[in-house]
Amino acid sequence: MRQRTTFPEDMRCVVLIGIDFDGPSHEVGRGIAPLGKHSWGNYSARCGVPRHMDMLARHDIKGTFFIPGYDAERHPAIVEQIDRNGYEVAAHGYLHEAWELGVEEEEALLRKTDRILHDVVGKPVLGWRSPSGRKSDRTMAVLKSMGYIYDSSDKDYDRPYRLRFGQGQDDVIVELPNNTYSLDDFPFYKFSHTPPSEVLAQWKAEFDAIYGVDRFFVLSLHPRAGWGSGTPAHTRILSDLITYMKGHDGVRFMEYRAFAQWCQQHRDNLEEVSFA
């Protein structure tokens, strides 16, 4: 039975801030040594992530960090700090895989990253975002078998929904789609080299259009240097955007796992879509 996803009136607009760690794994996974002009990813752990955590703390809001397993191996202390400061740690591939994965290789990397993150933070990981956008029904089955409750990789809807990937009663996972075009820093800073002030104006316009209509605002960020939001001026416009959104009634800033749990508890509020 399909229906339009609905939120209660007191949840005027849900805001999810997802920060894709994307450290040196991004280069190493492509066979590039993360040195010199290719060292941007090292900025994440050293500057970008701490700056983002400080910003979230100043605003007293939650956020979710999607972390590749390799980056967690290289920088366990900063991943521990993310968790210790009360922010969610979620999975984002092992080497930010940009190549086609076979079934066995994909499962091995999914489970490897899950073990790494679990060992670092000492608690289960509940969510995943594909590092390259690739996924299949088999991907969802492996995630579900590891206890994951949500995925945030699809680009096909403006609201959360229940994604059915198999015929079994429990073959369902919460999908929290993310807009990697107008609500992602990557295309603005990597390709169009848009000034931060113009990015802020775009994101405010997106929020204004979403608030009170689709009521689900998902912002995808990267703490890298070069094309991320970890640098001082880029982080400042994020703070300005958060201040702007907080000025609206009924805005709830939530971490992904908390909102996914709300979706599980209110399953009748969500549309269900089949993977096929």
pLDDT in tens, 236-255: 999 999 999 999 999 999 99
Answer yes or no: is 3 within a domain. no
Which pLDDT score is estimated for 1?
Answer: 42
Summarised one tens digit per residue, pLDDT across range 259-275 is 999 999 999 999 999 98
Total tally of structural domains belonging to the chain: 1
- Distance between CA atoms of residues 236 and 240, nearest Å: 6
Is the pLDDT at 231 greater than 60? The verdict is yes
pLDDT, residue 3, reads 58
How many contiguous H segments (helices) and E segments (strands) does the chain have?
Answer: 11, 10
| Rounded (10°) CA dihedral 104, 110, 111, 112 | 100
pLDDT at residue 5 greater than cutoff 80: no
pLDDT of residue 172: 97
Residue 195 falls inside a structural domain: yes
Note whether 226 and 40 are within 8 A (CB).
Answer: yes
Q: What is the mean pLDDT of residues 187-213?
A: 96
Q: What is the pLDDT, as a whole number, of residue 222?
A: 97
Is the residue at 76 inside a domain? yes
**What percent of the chain has pLDDT above 70?**
98
Asked, for residue 2, whether it belongs to a domain, the answer is no
The answer to whether residue 6 is domain-embedded is no
What's residue 250's pLDDT? 95
Tell whether the model's pLDDT for residue 144 goes beyond 90.
yes
- 46-75 pLDDT, tens digit each: 999 999 999 999 999 999 999 999 999 999
CA 14/CA 119 separation, integer angstroms: 31
Q: How do residues 73-109 score in pLDDT, each as one tens digit?
A: 999 999 999 999 999 999 999 999 988 889 999 999 9
Residue with tokens 């009170």: 212
Q: Alpha carbon of 140 to those of 91, 106, 236, 248, 259: distances in Å? A: 13, 11, 36, 36, 19
Averaged over 155-184, what is the pLDDT? 94
Residue 34 placed within a domain: yes
Q: What is the pLDDT of residue 276?
A: 66
Give strand pairing partners of 116: none
**Is 178 within the bounds of a domain?**
yes
pTM for this model (two decimals): 0.96
Query: Which string of DSSP letters, residue by residue, matches 115-152?
Result: HHHHHHHSS---EE--SSS---HHHHHHHHHTT--EE-
For residue 127, what pLDDT band results from cuts at 50, 70 and 90?
very high
**Does some domain include residue 4?**
no
Q: What is the mean pLDDT of residues 10-33?
A: 95
Contact between 14 and 64 (Cβ < 8 Å): no
List the domain range (segments joined by +) for residue 132: 13-274
* pLDDT computed for residue 174 by the predictor: 98
Give the CATH number for residue 107.
3.20.20.370
pLDDT at 9: 82
What's the chain's average pLDDT?
Answer: 95
